[in-house]
Amino acid sequence: MKILYHHRIASKDGQFVHVEELTNAFLEQGHELKFIAPSLNDNSDFGHDGGFVTKLKKQLPRALYELLELSYSFWIFVKLVIAIKQFKPKFIYERYNLYQPAGIWASKLFKIPLILEVNAPLVEERSRYSGLSLVKFAKWIENYTWKNATHTLPVTDVLADHLRNVGVKESNITVIHNGVNQPFIDEMLAKPIQQDKKDIVIGFTGFIHPWHGMDKAIDAIAKYKALPLKLICVGDGNILPELKAQAEALGISDKIEFAGLVTRDKVLDYVEQFDIALQPDVTAYASPLKMFEYMAVGSVIIAPEYPNIREILSDETALFFEKGNQTSFIEKLEYAIEHINELEVLRTAVKSSVIEKQFIWQENAKRIVKLFETEHSTQKR
């Protein structure tokens, strides 16, 4: 099947991983893809922030940058029109972005279904974290895009509520969580969970923020310094120098590894070592990519008590702490350290749940194609 894949990602980060994994799954299943997307990340390292676009965003007045985003959509509309005429896709698959109605216009013009993947309510997110000037206008375009897509794919049911609240029909919403690559799952399922290892490895991947409580995790390592503990932090963060200094002051530098930014395959090599995996915080609507990787390797996952996380994990597959409560977070970490050999049932259950709940990129690709086929057959009637 020919699929026209449209996105606006210029950075090489978690968003890029999502696109790459889904792309590979489509290709493995014999589909033919054509991309309308930036080419800025082709030769860049993992962690690349988008270069020119990011600098432009920082230098221009916010309102002007937002108008440029919208004007870019007119150019993308022209590219979509040309691609549709030449490639003749069965449907458009689009990753939602703000000020990006071009896919909807092309879908309506050519009467081609558009399946819209939604990873965040971007008006809310950008207003809160990076700032947004034309809020009412941006929200009008966001609502227009969501409501006019043939079908929407929010990554959590919590996020689906945002779509429902602006009038997207329930019949046009299907929740599809993120996932893990099937070969990686198969490899991990073939490996038994090791007990009585030389080290108990506690791990975290991602950008380290002050509110993640990694300083408290280092304190916990110091408290149990007689145990064979090791903390691995994979990723960057402005507070890394402070955390390194803290570990040195506590005399446990040898028990802490700050891996920094590493390539995608190296991330999974590290995650495979995690006996205990930390998910200190998450936005209320997200489907965290790293959590599915923690699940696939059978880590004891310590996660916040959020509804979106409860869609993925349960009391049988994770240890939950009270959201926003670092004391509760550390209590669960200390419990996991003290009872690691008694948590094998939980670790086995979380590995199995990846398969049981179909948190697999290849399954996601099959569901997307099935949705198109269902929509297409309905339209023909």
Q: Which residue has the tokens 């375009």?
A: 141
Higher pLDDT, 264 or 146: 146
Q: CB-based contacts of 275: which residues, under 8 Å, 6+ apart?
A: 197, 200, 201, 202, 299, 300, 340
Q: What sign has the CA pseudo-torsion 219, 220, 225, 229?
A: negative
Question: Tens digit of pLDDT for each residue in 175-208?
Answer: 999 999 999 999 998 888 776 667 899 999 988 8
Residue of 176, 137, 160, 156 lying closest to 25 (CA atoms): 176
Beta strands in 119-183 (DSSP E): 151-154
The model's confidence at residue 163, banded by pLDDT at 50, 70 and 90, is: very high
Helix (H), strand (E) at residue 233: strand 229-234
Residue of 124, 117, 111 lying closest to 146 (CA atoms): 117
Range in 132-146, 267-281, 338-352, 366-380 the model is least confident about: 366-380
pLDDT at 207: 86
Is pLDDT at 211 greater than 90 in this prediction? Answer: no
The model's confidence at residue 132, banded by pLDDT at 50, 70 and 90, is: very high
For residues 299-311, give the mean pLDDT. Answer: 96
Amino acid at the residue 371: L
Predicted TM-score (pTM) of the model is: 0.91
Amino acid at the residue 316: E
DSSP 8-state code for residue 217: H
For residues 364-380, give the mean pLDDT. Answer: 84
Is pLDDT at 281 greater than 90 in this prediction? Answer: no
Please tell me whether residue 204 adopts helix, strand or coil conformation.
strand
**Which structural domains are found in the chain, ordered by start?**
2-179+360-380 (3.40.50.2000), 182-356 (3.40.50.2000)
Question: Tens digit of pLDDT for each residue in 92-120?
Answer: 999 999 999 999 999 999 999 999 999 99
pLDDT at 48: 47
